[in-house]
């Protein structure tokens, strides 16, 4: 397809656990979903690998049951780790390499339709920690994308809802929604996707977008609902035939696909039928919505507990929340909507596509950033850019930031920047050396809420070396933590007496360095990704 005109070169990507979506901005600054090469608005986040060929998307999902040992699914759940949860075709892959294949396929599809991509904003769950965020950014670089920013998924969704509300009121298409009389609007975003769950509360005014509180679970999503059905189906089959279809990779892949089918069917009707095949044997039986709800009640309860906690952490009551926005494919499930109605006393807003809204918000966020940068050469109207230049977006950190300090009971997490602190943020605190004549101080930087350091995630460390000789025990050392609006973290240690300074922009343990990133980008560039 020949490239089309009026492309800003900017895309927003919702890199999802089960599906991904990409959007662009029109000249008027209106977000639009970009179809993939098959003409579909979302692309399955599934990869089938064979030698130097990676099949991504619909064909990969169709092949999952035929080639399960060659298939990677739910890669996002392993982001930040050193390896994907299992080998693919006998090889070990890092999650960011697999994610880069998905992103490369998305980039290729966009460029075939519109021409070169100049900038990309990629979304992540609000509850992603620093390591997972950096791995996502690395995946973009490996795919050949210039990553303008990483934005939280609930923030992106709320931005898209605010924009669309104003557009439907026939106000300027580039502006953002407030209440009917111009007062700020407070919205709760409930985002339950295929593999992750987030809740955020945001406050929106005409020129300001502020996240008040956020929480979530990076290992809770539709895949867990599917797994409950998979186990139920397998146990029914085992009860009749004595064998367990979960023991065979191909049968297990079929079970997961059948679970997805049943889950979707039960969102529209009260009963449906499941079909399980294994070892040339077949079992068909009825599944009711009531049974599905019973099997997954504890999963739903976990999201309810988190949602209530976020409202409390924001210092609000449900009466002070104007809108409840539903995001993510799992919010189509009736049990979710019923729980939200009961909890909030409000009718949830499902007016935008749960599959596309996050990508739309990412594109809008990119437009705002380009407006601040001057956006020379961009195909966005001056009127839209003019409205965005002064727009302020304030997010919060989803995990507390601290350092490990020695106590009589062991190492504890001394929190400097608590979770839900508006970003950017900077905090300092004075600590003390633990022994006489201590010549260096090792600083371990942590993310997490636990008191014990070992229960938190260590995201980096550095050493303040070369301290003067013969310092007494409990010599003061000042530690300064900085948490940027873009999620980047830097920490420095300083000896107030000498001015000796050590600082670091944290590099997560096990993260690829620049040379390794360039090499992986070269490899991806030579792969055939279809």
Q: Across-strand partners of 463?
A: 442
What is the rounded distance in angstroms from the CA atom of residue 108 to the CA atom of residue 242?
A: 48
User: Both tokens of residue 365?
Assistant: 């966020």
What is the rounded distance in angstroms from the CA atom of residue 88 to the CA atom of residue 72?
A: 7
Has 14 been annotated as catalytic?
Answer: yes
At 293, phi and psi to the nearest 5? -60, -40
Q: How many residues does the chain have?
A: 530
Question: Considering Cα of 514, then 518, then 521, then 527, what sign does the dihedral take?
Answer: negative
Eight-class DSSP state of 423: S
What is the rounded distance in angstroms from the CA atom of residue 402 to the CA atom of residue 421?
A: 13
How many other C-beta atoms can be found within 10 angstroms of the C-beta atom of residue 82?
Answer: 11
Q: From the candidates 78, 130, 149, 153, which is the catalytic residue?
A: 153
Packing angle of the helix pair 222-241, 249-266 (nearest 10 deg): 120
Q: 443 in the Ramachandran plot: left (φ > 0), alpha (ψ -120 to 50) or beta?
A: beta
Cite the DSSP H helix spans in 221-267: 222-241, 249-266
Cβ neighbours for 362, distance < 8 A, ≥ 6 positions apart: 12, 13, 14, 23, 121, 122, 123, 151, 156
Eight-class DSSP state of 415: E
What is the rounded distance in angstroms from the CA atom of residue 415 to the CA atom of residue 448?
A: 9
Nearest CA to 217 out of 321, 304, 315, 150 is that of 304
Q: Quick check: 20 and 104 in contact, CB under 8 A?
A: no
Q: Is 123 exposed, middle or buried (0-12, 13-18, 19+ CB in 10 A)?
A: buried
Q: From the candidates 61, 76, 263, 419, which is the catalytic residue?
A: 76
What is the rounded distance in angstroms from the CA atom of residue 158 to the CA atom of residue 349?
A: 11
Q: Quick check: 489 and 482 in contact, CB under 8 A?
A: yes
Is 136 strand, coil or helix? helix
Has 191 been annotated as catalytic?
Answer: yes
Has 312 been annotated as catalytic?
Answer: no
Q: HSE on the CB side for 257, CA within 13 Å? A: 20
Q: From the candidates 78, 109, 130, 191, which is the catalytic residue?
A: 191
Cite the DSSP H helix spans in 217-347: 222-241, 249-266, 289-295, 297-313, 334-344
How many other C-beta atoms can be found within 10 angstroms of the C-beta atom of residue 242?
Answer: 8
User: Both tokens of residue 433?
Assistant: 């050396």
Has 217 been annotated as catalytic?
Answer: no
Q: Tell me the catalytic residues.
A: 14, 76, 153, 191
């Amino acid at each position: 397809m020949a490239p089309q005109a009026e492309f800003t070169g900017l895309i927003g990507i919702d890199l999802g656990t089960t599906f991904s979506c990409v959007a662009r901005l029109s000249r008027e600054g209106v977000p639009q979903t970009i179809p993939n090469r098959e003409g579909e608005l979302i692309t399955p986040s599934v990869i089938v690998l064979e030698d130097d060929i990676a099949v991504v998307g619909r064909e990969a999902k169709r092949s999952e049951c035929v080639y399960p040992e060659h298939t990677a699914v739910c890669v996002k759940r392993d982001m930040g780790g050193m390896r994907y949860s299992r080998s693919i075709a006998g090889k070990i892959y890092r999650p960011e390499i697999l994610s880069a294949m998905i992103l490369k396929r998305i980039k290729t599809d966009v460029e075939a339709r519109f021409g070169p991509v100049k900038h990309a904003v990629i979304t992540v769950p609000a509850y992603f920690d620093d390591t997972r965020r950096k791995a996502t950014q690395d995946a973009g670089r490996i795919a050949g994308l210039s990553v303008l920013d990483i934005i939280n998924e609930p923030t992106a969704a709320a931005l898209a809802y605010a924009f669309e509300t104003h557009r439907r009121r026939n106000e300027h298409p580039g502006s953002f929604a407030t209440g009917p009389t111009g007062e700020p609007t407070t919205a709760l975003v409930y985002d339950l996707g295929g593999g992750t769950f987030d809740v955020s509360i945001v406050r929106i005014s005409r020129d300001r977008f502020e996240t008040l509180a956020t929480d979530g679970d990076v290992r809770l999503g539709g895949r867990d609902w599917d797994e409950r059905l998979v186990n139920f189906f397998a146990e029914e089959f085992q009860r009749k035939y004595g064998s367990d279809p979960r023991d065979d990779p191909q049968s297990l892949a079929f079970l997961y696909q059948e679970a997805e089918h049943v889950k979707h069917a039960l969102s529209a009707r009260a009963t449906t039928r499941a079909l399980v095949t294994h070892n040339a044997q077949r079992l068909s039986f009825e599944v009711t919505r009531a049974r599905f709800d019973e099997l997954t009640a504890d999963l739903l309860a976990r999201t309810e507990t988190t949602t209530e906690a976020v409202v409390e952490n924001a210092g609000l009551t449900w009466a002070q929340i104007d809108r409840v926005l539903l995001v993510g494919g799992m919010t189509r499930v009736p049990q979710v909507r019923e729980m939200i109605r009961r909890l909030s006393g409000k009718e949830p807003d499902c007016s935008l596509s749960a599959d596309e809204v996050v990508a739309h918000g990412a594109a809008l966020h990119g437009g705002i950033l380009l407006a601040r940068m001057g956006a020379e050469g961009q195909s966005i109207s001056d009127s839209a850019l003019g409205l965005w230049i002064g727009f302020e977006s304030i997010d919060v950190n989803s995990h507390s930031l601290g350092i490990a300090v020695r106590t009589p009971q062991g190492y504890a997490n001394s929190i400097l920047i608590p979770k839900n602190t508006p970003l950017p943020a900077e905090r300092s605190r004075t600590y003390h050396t633990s022994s006489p004549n201590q010549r260096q101080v090792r600083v371990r930087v942590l993310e997490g809420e636990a008191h014990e350091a070992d229960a938190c995630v260590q995201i980096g460390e550095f050493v303040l070396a070369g301290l003067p000789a013969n310092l007494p025990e409990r010599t003061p050392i000042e530690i300064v933590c900085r948490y940027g609006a873009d999620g980047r973290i830097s920490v420095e240690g300083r000896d107030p007496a000498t001015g000796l300074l050590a600082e670091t922009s944290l590099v997560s343990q096990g993260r690829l360095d620049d040379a390794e990133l360039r090499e992986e980008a070269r490899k991806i560039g030579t792969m055939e990704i279809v």
